[in-house]
A and B are shown apart, each in its own frame.
Chain A
Amino acid sequence: MEALSKKPKSGPGKKAVAGTGVVGRKTPGDVIFDLINHCFFGIFSLLCAFPFYFLFINTISDNDLVQKGQIKLLPRGINLSNYLAMLNVSDLGQAFLVTIARTVLGTGLMVAASGLVGYLVTKKEMWHRKFWYRFLVITMYFNAGTIPWYLNMSMLGLTNHFAAYIIPAVVAPYNIILVKTYIESIPSELEESALIDGAGFFTVFTRIIWPLCKPILATIAIFGAVGHWNSYTDSLILMQSAPELKTVQHRLFEYLNQTTNLASVMSSGGGMLASAVARQAMNAKVLKYTISMVTVIPILVVYPFMNRYFEKGIMLGAVKG
């Protein structure tokens, strides 16, 4: 308490990790604390990473051993035939196509729209700008509910239609706020000088605003893409009579819930299992693991590279529009 009430002494700015303060010698208490702390975080990280590792070693091991439950911590009999077998899982390829298409198209359109609309709502000349901005933003705070949303989609003819994945997600108020806030932080002189030089609206937008906004656009693009890749409730609700439009996550959910007879989904398209695969009988367990792995790999691969954008995203989220 006393520490707070006293005025902080001004000292030379120390280059230290946040919260370190002035560190003296380590007391035995400090050592024990550090040990426990490191152990805790080490264990928790293991808890987060191990399931992925466990799935992975089971998919690359010998299927008989997997079936007997003998793959525990290390892979044995390494082979990639399970991944090759994925090619024969009927409907999975289609589901991947749909998901990739919606991720690319949906994210692209959303980012373009957020960029343009985010810029438009910063323009003070726009007719009734304040009203229209609120018109967009207020939609974040209410929600008609699942059923009215579903009925609305079916009224618009978007049920069992690929466009249902893309069009409703084009206008994303939250992302628009992020872009708007970001543009407002750009010095306005840049834009003004371009306008004086005779650049039109679109020239300013494409040549100046868009390039400057790349960091924030990348951030919302990644969030959008992850959202598209992971979504399955829209597929579940809207695509009830269009199985060819189910997303990967929806398919995975179905496979996970099929306890018996999973082999029936294999190669029901008529193709025989590849000979390399035929030697190993696929079983339900391995199939589930492999499909899970295939759906999660894109995220795991992209994630480390995108980490900084993710973090930037949540920090920007803390800034209100």
Chain B
Amino acid sequence: MKQELSARERMAGKIGILQRIVTLLSLFFVFFPSVNPARVSALVGRTLSLFTSGISYARLTSEMGRAFSKGWISPVSIRILFAGSAVILVGIVLSCAASCMSLGNLKLKSYGKWFALSGSVLMAVGLLLIRASYLQLLGSSNPAKVEAAIPTAFYLYAVFTAILVLTSASFALLLPKPPADSRCEMEAGYKLFLMFLPFAMLCFVFSYLPLYGWRYAFFEYTAGSDLSMDKFVGFHWFTTLLSNEATRADILRVLRNTLAMSGLGILTGWLPIAFAIFLNEIKNSRFRRIIQTVTTIPNFISWVLVYAIALAIFSTDGFINTMTGGDVNYLMNSSHMWLKMLLWGTWKGIGWSAIIYIAGISGIDQQLYEAATVDGAGRFQRMWHITVPGLLPTYFVMLLMSIAGILSNGMDQYLVFSNARNKETIEVLDLYVYNLGIQNGIIPLSTVVGMVKSIVSVILLFGANRFSKAVRGESIV
């Protein structure tokens, strides 16, 4: 008897896995506009996902104003559509709850099966409502504009729903009755995982899912249109990047700026060490603290504010001109842009970057200094032979990190300082991608540039890590 029960339980366990996978998939696709089962008419926006169509009636009807006023469609059929989407969403939520509960003990599972059953039934009801709405839309007075059709995603969800109905029904049949006195329990490992799951999903949606956007690099795409296989262009954009005279010149210019400014940053990477060492030579601790506080403040203001300060000091009616009586707008001067950007970066960052070295200095064994002094080493000799070697490991890590990030100098700083005159020398890769993609709406090409940049950056990072492991026996990531 007992043997048979556990076999049935095993069976139920396997079905449970199927149910969880299908639930996860149906939850996942809820956020994709391209698989929206509620898109039964061309009037439903292409950018609407099932999630949006199910929670926001306003968004669902945002493109239907004309259709309503001309009487092509009745608001009733759209309300039905909205209700259907919402009901599906509720069903999916219930199924998710059921999936979670199916990880628990028998008692919890037996509660879960009701969730699973009601969830899948609700999904079926929702799909039927959407179909009802579709049938109403078929009878529209302007079929050409309404274009009522059952989307492929509808069938996908129909399959999901069918599977869920079947699994939850068999689940209900297979599960033995829990002992009457048992309580709802779940293994700690699963419990912890379920608590972790929402965060894993957020992380997936905002960090992994954008990778799916790389597909735009292989399509002919303008904002607002949708992707279909007939627009697939393969590596067309990649070759355009290199073969088109204008873009190639742009890329070369932007790369030169990026490498030059990152390179200058790397070359001056030792400045914070010098800052830390010389600051440490100030013996008055009160004065030292004040300096440290004041010099780290610029790190915590935004680049917009740095720009505001630049305006206040260097513009035509800024501080310098009021002192000298001139009227030179230093910010419109585009010479030595790389150097100026380096100086601003140093002004903003040096105090902050020095903190890690200051802490490093206080970690150096005092006896080393004492011994060196006894041996007659002067101040500079102590700095050079004790402090500097003591800080080198940290510097090495920082150096490798900045080499790995050589292509990513961010766009904040360069965006605020850029103007029509200095664009040639200030535009870095990140800013170029922004200008190209967001400002000019050239999505595929800018995706290609960003994609290549990301891949090169990851390779550089792992290269740097390899190098660090080989040389220091320690990894940096």
Contact = CB atoms under 8 A, between A and B. Distances in A.
Contacts of B458: 141-142
Nearest to A1: B385
The number of chain A residues touching the other chain, given as a range, is 35 or more
Contacts of B408: 143
B394 A6 contact: no
B144 interface: no
A210 B207 CA distance: 27
B339 interface: no
Interface stretch (B76-84, B105-113, B247-255, B350-358): B350-358
A45 B294 contact: yes
B300 A303 contact: yes
Given A155-B31, A288-B311, A303-B297, A45 B290 contact: yes
Given A22-B370, A252-B305, A256-B308, A148 B347 contact: no
B371 A48 contact: no
Interface in B403-434: 408, 411-412, 415-416, 430, 433-434
Given A22-B370, A144-B210, A253-B304, A285 B317 contact: yes
A171 B202 contact: yes
A6 B351 contact: no
A24 B373 CA distance: 9
A113 B199 contact: yes
B450 A132 contact: no
A197 interface: no
A55 B385 contact: no
Contacts of A127: 189-190, 192-193
A16 B370 CA distance: 11
B470 interface: no
Contact of A45 (B210, B213, B291, B374): B291
What size tier do the contact residues of chain B reach? 35 or more
B450 A48 contact: no
A170 B381 CA distance: 49
Given A17-B285, A249-B304, A147 B367 contact: no
Contacts of B471: none
A315 B450 contact: no
Nearest to B48: A157
A196 interface: no
Given A146-B430, A149-B210, A18 B381 contact: no
Nearest to B445: A147
A319 B293 CA distance: 23
B374 A318 contact: no
Contacts of B438: 146-147, 150, 237
Contacts of B300: 226, 230, 299, 303, 310
A72 B311 CA distance: 15
B54 to A, nearest CB: 12
B102 to A, nearest CB: 14
B256 interface: no
B202 A155 contact: no
B443 A289 contact: no
Interface string B322-358: 1100000000000000000000000100011001100
Contacts of A154: 47
A173 to B, nearest CB: 7
Q: Which residue among A3, A70, A71 has the maximum number of chain B CB atoms within 10 Å of its CB?
A: A3
A28 interface: no
B295 interface: yes
Contact of A167 (B202, B285, B412, B450): B202
Interface in B224-277: 277
Contact of B302 (A40, A55, A249): A249
B71 interface: no
Contact of A72 (B199, B285, B319): B319
Given A30-B379, A315-B356, 16 more contacts: A18-B366, A21-B373, A55-B308, A113-B199, A117-B199, A123-B192, A135-B203, A136-B200, A144-B211, A146-B430, A148-B216, A171-B199, A171-B202, A288-B308, A288-B311, A303-B300
Interface of A: 1-4, 6-11, 13-14, 16-22, 24, 30, 33-34, 37-38, 40-42, 44-45, 47-49, 51-52, 54-55, 58, 69-72, 113, 116-117, 120-121, 123, 125-129, 132, 135-136, 139, 141-152, 154-157, 167-168, 170-171, 173, 201, 226, 229-233, 237, 249-250, 252-253, 256, 285, 288-289, 292, 295-296, 299-300, 303-304, 307, 310-311, 314-315, 317-318
15 contacts: A3-B371, A4-B372, A6-B375, A9-B374, A19-B277, A21-B366, A51-B312, A72-B323, A135-B200, A141-B458, A147-B446, A157-B49, A252-B308, A296-B305, A318-B359
